[in-house]
Structure 1
């Protein structure tokens, strides 16, 4: 049985944003995949990457994330990241899942490299970019520097942006709700993944951006972990992005 997280979508929700994606980001369960390696050569096992993506899709999930925390993006070269995205998209299309959105992790420590990763994700078949804030110098950040970073990335990315609020993966950097609401007004920022686990923050952001004043795309709040799926739904989330891709039916 597939868990339904939303009522019938409106015509507005079926549209895409100004930068465009042919696969709308719809409410539901999203899974962050792992990347597989050959145990002898340590090269990426692309055959298993492809077959695993198809296995997940057949379980009834809404979308797939590659190059996330589970996807070990920090261990991969740019070429390897592009190849994983390409093989995943090709596998989904070949298996008949041509409408399934593919989210690609694109976080980096500079604005320039983050934009470059977004462009590469687009060229490789990705539909959305999941972006962590730069965190190496997190002690020097302020709400304005974070806002400037995401705004510039969103302005220049050819695919829509999903903010990844994951303090554990960003040296403790935890974006506040006011910053997220401000960024959520950008037409090319279409969601936030709350791996911070703060349902109060999610509730405030979801309520503030529920009726975002644009005709391009809704703003989707994602619960960031399977262990608080129900609380995040009660708080206003309409999607959940989870990291248990081996037991694919745990939440669908």
Structure 2
């Protein structure tokens, strides 16, 4: 589990101007974040626009990242959904030989009860051949995985090793950290409160802004883990405006604008997402120049 302490990056799926997958751009992004010092990579998460990819495109993304990574960093694969049986079927049939864990989002749209959420992840834990990282993001799923449910799962299933906690609620995060099993990891899913969570006892982050500024953000997390508070907060405040900006008009439209400014890939997103407007694009461009 130590491999998931620090900064993980939720990789984008770059697109060309015709909205096909930009394989060369994806290779550049993977090398860029690895060279920037992050600890692990997350494949086919929310930031990858996974909901708009065909099955063939998902496999292309997976194989490209495996090839470019070449075993350099641990890999986490997004395997989740609101149809429990479909998720379980994928867990039983997919080759996970190149992956170190799965990231599985709480069911969205259905709005299950806490018991339904528990049963969903119980089925996943019993089917997954590799460790499971829970993903709580109520802003997208319309239901919050309460600490009681997380702790029940963490205590009952050894292969549920962590949660990506993205409720944006520092109190909820602290309750998880306070009561979790010793080796269970509480990972921030919100870039802006990553440092406070780490200083409270969290294990790091699965980040979006860390893709644009991997060196600075991963160093901030490491400093936080070492309780070098002043130095860590200097980096936090250096990047804070960019964190607000990349989410202002939707993810990953904002981070793709930064990646375009770094000449890594285009800023194309697929509908129903749209590019950031020209005003925000210029703000992101100026921030990138200033901090490059």
Q: TM-score, normalised by structure 2?
A: 0.69
SS in 2 for 1:37: coil
Q: Tell me if 1:249 matches 2:215.
A: yes
Quick check: which one's helix share is greater?
2
SS in 2 for 1:241: strand
**CA 1:130/1:53 → structure 2, altered by over 3 Å: closer, same or farther?**
same
Of 38, 60, 70, the match for 2:16: 38
Which runs of structure 1 show a deviation greater than 3 angstroms over 4 or more consecutive aligned residues?
A: 116-124
Question: 2 CA distance for matches of 1:117 and 1:110?
Answer: 11
User: Which residue number in structure 1 is paired with residue 59 of structure 2?
Assistant: 82
Q: Which residue of 1 aligns with 2:146?
A: 176
Mapped contact 1:66–1:105 kept (Cα < 8 A): yes
Aligned partner of 2:41 among 64, 87, 93: 64
Is 1:55–2:25 an aligned residue pair? no
Other structure's SS at 1:144 match = helix
Match of 1:114 in 2: 87
Unaligned runs of 5+ in 1: 1-12, 14-23, 212-217
After superposition, the Cα gap between the structure-2 partners of 1:137 and 1:119, relative to the gap in structure 1 and judged at 3 Å, is: same
**Corresponding residue for residue 193 of structure 1:** 164
Residue 209 of structure 1 deviates from its aligned partner by 2.2
2:191 maps to 1:238: no
Q: Please tell me whether the aligned partners of residues 32 and 64 of structure 1 are also in contact (alpha carbons under 8 angstroms).
A: yes
- The partner residue of 1:133 within 83, 90, 106 is 106
1:71-110 deviation digits (Å, cap 9, x = unpaired): 11111122322221221111011xxxx2511111112121
Cα distance in 1, alignment partners of residues 59 and 100 from structure 2: 13
Larger C-alpha radius of gyration, 1 or 2?
2
**Mapped pair 1:150 → 2:115:** no
Alignment deviations for residues 47-80 of structure 1 (CA, whole Å, 9 cap, x no partner): 2112211110110000111211111111112232
Whether contact under 8 Å (1:181, 1:205) holds in the other structure is yes
Contact 2:154 / 2:181 at 8 angstroms: preserved in 1? no
Q: Work out whether residues 187 and 206 of structure 2, in 8 Å CA contact, stay in contact via their aligned partners in 1.
A: yes
Counterpart-to-counterpart distance in 2, 1:87 and 1:33: 12
* Contact kept? 1:118, 1:129, Cα under 8 Å: no
Structure 2 distance, partners of 1:147, 1:231, is 28
- Alpha-carbon distance in structure 1 between the residues aligned to 2:171 and 2:136: 14
Q: Distance in 2 between matches of 1:135 and 1:200?
A: 23
- Per the TM alignment, residue 224 of structure 1 is displaced from its structure 2 partner at its CA by 1.0
**Residue 228, structure 1, aligned to residue 193, structure 2:** yes
Q: Describe the shift of the 1:55–1:116 C-alpha distance in structure 2 as closer, same or farther (beyond 3 A).
A: farther
